[in-house]
Amino acid sequence: METLGEYNHRRVAMQEVRFAIEDVSEGREFQHRLMDFNNLSSTTFSDIHKVLQIATERVESRLKKKSEQ
């Protein structure tokens, strides 16, 4: 919000987190992936950290490929 001046829940970083949740949840269906995954009683801090790490690595990889072009 500070950088862009508005919130957009479909930005690249947020989408990558959603995709990472799909990967670690093994096909589990969520109505709202971010909120529902976070609110599962079985979700641990380690699970959230793993999702954020996966998403970060994917975004970094995409940025690296783009800068090499």
The tens digit of pLDDT for each residue in 33-51 reads 999 999 999 999 999 999 9
How confident is the model over 20-25, as a mean pLDDT? 95
How confident is the model over 19-34, as a mean pLDDT? 93
> Cα Rg for the chain, rounded, in angstroms?
14
Question: Contacts from 55-59 at CB under 8 Å and sequence distance 24+?
Answer: 55/13, 55/16, 55/17, 55/19, 55/20, 58/16, 58/19, 58/20, 59/12, 59/13, 59/16
Given this model, what pLDDT does residue 1 score? 66
Higher pLDDT, 5 or 36: 36
Which distant-in-sequence residues (6+ apart) come within 8 Å of 58 by Cβ? 16, 19, 20
- CA 36 – CA 22 distance, rounded (Å): 12
Residue extents of the structural domains in the chain? 12-68
How confident is the model over 19-29, as a mean pLDDT? 92
Higher pLDDT, 54 or 12: 54
